[in-house]
Structure 1
């Protein structure tokens, strides 16, 4: 460092000017008063609430993996005949509810979906009434859910409410005995139509067992079991609501093969033209009937030693009944006789299908020649 007094003076002046500018800018950088209003930005709000700004990007990146995992948990199958059954239910229910309510009722299907039983219970809009019913022939259970707007609409219609006005909803209280009784009558009507809808496919009777208002008391299946959910919308001139039917796949298992088949019209998979043609062709089919006089068990060596002119003694007396057989199946018991110059048999009775099988045609030839 040089000892020139002029240079030292210039340096001191420069440092002094710099310090003066810093002191002048200091008041502007002082923090605001504690009572001053301060707004949080989106990043600070996400941090306080426990969200991360990059969570959306990560969720989008994991969407494919989540779909693969979820698709591997439960494999749902499409049941074509079940859709026809519910279409028939809608037609029946529209007419039945018109007679039940004496009002103009329109019933339509919102959706038919497959989901887990626990997922549906978590999504039930409360308050609602859950009707547990049993399929008698299939020995298993299903569930019908009536939401709150539908309950109040049915009560209003059946108790003489004016048309064209929405039903009054009083939330925050349990359902009364009258409301439960009217909903029970509604569910009995729906189950009767559901029984009629399944009648062409498989005879079954659906019987209502109980009404629940808490989904925890309506556990008819394991939480992870697959179910079919049918959402029905009921409109009654400005009033109405939703009616949902939840049927586990385990309940439909006895008729699973019938629900998987294709269909033609209302015959539910049957073709009457082909059935008639097949029946006519079967009646014209030719079959060979064997007259079995007797059956004997012989060693193979004795059969190989048979020569022309050898005789085989029958173990039956003359006039004993013979059997008529078609292949290995015995059909009738008959008496052997003669008509003009031909041998003939007269059928006496039918043999049970579990009877002894008939003999071969070659054995019949030998025994007939011996009898002659």
Structure 2
């Protein structure tokens, strides 16, 4: 407890201050360095920190699956990852997104109510440009979708929702369905403005274009399974589940991704001076390569096979001879190093 001064002590203290014998700075209150967070009682938090963390973990799986699916369908590098998970009012969410944008109203069967998947215009038009045969670059477009473009995006969103179902498997057998697509946020009032929602923000990159995808889930929609959004329930469910199906999905998605395949006859180091003097018709001699020697077939910058050159009809081709991994290291080095003849 704080000590109470007597009247004599108070008089002595005042006398000392008046005489200048005591520094008044010693009696100033100490600044409180604690951070104070403002709490709005009219807008109480509905989700605990643990529940927010579980939602984030769920959608990290969703982001990985969506990365693979988009890369396969667009035949281009795509990357999706969770940027943040927050709780806010539906009105705050609607005010935070651009107009026009791509707003997909999602039925969250068997949960009651709807959710919103919002895709940034830069991502939307980059996807559309890629699917229409373009490069996906320079697509800073701000307009509503045409009927054809909306139909294309419906197909993309349906594939994304399949990944969402997979990501939610540990919590509920979710069967999300696309309701309608809107471009004006004011036409997508799925809950009252003051209703609390959890907002999953996903940074999305398609080719060189970057933007956001936002998944907005109202509290009243997710409330029936809120008790399952705990770390203990989540990790126990993960341990019980098998990863076989997940790996099967990954293999299926990856099987359609294009890879660079390069047949490398040989290499040589030459000075820059000679490179600058190269002309049409010049012959470059490759060292340590004999005519008829097998050469390397690389897939995605990884040396995978030994092969030999040939023709099929009127086209040049290569025939795979053996996996490099199956060859003893010393045998491979010997194949690469022996012989002084050159191939021109």
Higher Rg of the two aligned structures: 1
Match of 1:108? 81
Q: Given the superposition, is the C-alpha separation of residues 176 and 254 from structure 1 closer, same or farther in structure 2, using an over 3 Å criterion? A: same
**Distance (Å, rounded) in 2 between the aligned partners of 1:108 and 1:66:** 29
Aligned-residue CA RMSD (Å) = 2.5
Match of 1:87? 60
Stretches of structure 1 lacking an aligned partner (at least 5 in a row): 1-63, 273-372
Q: CA deviation at 1:241?
A: 2.1
Cα pair 2:55 2:85 within 8 Å, conserved: no
1:232 corresponds to 2:205: no
Match of 1:257? 227
Q: Given the superposition, is the C-alpha separation of residues 170 and 235 from structure 1 closer, same or farther in structure 2, using an over 3 Å criterion? A: closer
Match of 1:267? 237
**Distance (Å, rounded) in 2 between the aligned partners of 1:101 and 1:206:** 23
Q: Which of 61, 67, 83 is matched with 2:38 structurally?
A: 67
Q: Given the superposition, is the C-alpha separation of residues 170 and 261 from structure 1 closer, same or farther in structure 2, using an over 3 Å criterion? A: closer
Question: Mapping of 1:1-372 within 5 angstroms?
Answer: 67-68=38-39, 70=40, 72-78=42-48, 79=51, 80-162=53-135, 166-171=137-142, 173-263=143-233, 265=235, 267-268=237-238
Cα pair 2:106 2:115 within 8 Å, conserved: yes
Q: Given the superposition, is the C-alpha separation of residues 181 and 271 from structure 1 closer, same or farther in structure 2, using an over 3 Å criterion? A: closer
Cα pair 2:54 2:234 within 8 Å, conserved: no
**Distance (Å, rounded) in 2 between the aligned partners of 1:131 and 1:207:** 10
Cα pair 1:126 1:147 within 8 Å, conserved: no
| Higher share in helix | 1
Query: What do residues 147-192 of structure 1 show as CA deviations (whole Å, max 9, x unaligned)?
Result: 1101110111111112xx6233343x43211221122112111111
Cα pair 1:149 1:169 within 8 Å, conserved: yes
User: Which stretch of structure 1 is more off in the superposition, 91-100 or 141-150?
Assistant: 91-100
**Distance (Å, rounded) in 2 between the aligned partners of 1:109 and 1:71:** 29
With the length of structure 2 as denominator, give the TM-score of the two structures: 0.55
**Distance (Å, rounded) in 2 between the aligned partners of 1:161 and 1:210:** 27
**Distance (Å, rounded) in 1 between the aligned partners of 2:155 and 2:219:** 26
**Distance (Å, rounded) in 2 between the aligned partners of 1:271 and 1:95:** 21
With the length of structure 1 as denominator, give the TM-score of the two structures: 0.51
Question: Secondary structure of the residue that 1:254 maps to in structure 2?
Answer: helix
- The count of aligned residue pairs is 205
Query: What do residues 45-89 of structure 1 show as CA deviations (whole Å, max 9, x unaligned)?
Result: xxxxxxxxxxxxxxxxxxx99924x25522232214322211111
Higher RCO structure (Cα 8 Å, ≥6 apart) = 2
Question: Secondary structure of the residue that 1:178 maps to in structure 2?
Answer: helix
Query: What do residues 94-151 of structure 1 show as CA deviations (whole Å, max 9, x unaligned)?
Result: 1111112111111111111110001111121122011101111112210001111011
Query: What do residues 6-35 of structure 1 show as CA deviations (whole Å, max 9, x unaligned)?
Result: xxxxxxxxxxxxxxxxxxxxxxxxxxxxxx
Moved over 6 A (4+): none
Stretches of structure 2 lacking an aligned partner (at least 5 in a row): 1-34, 243-344
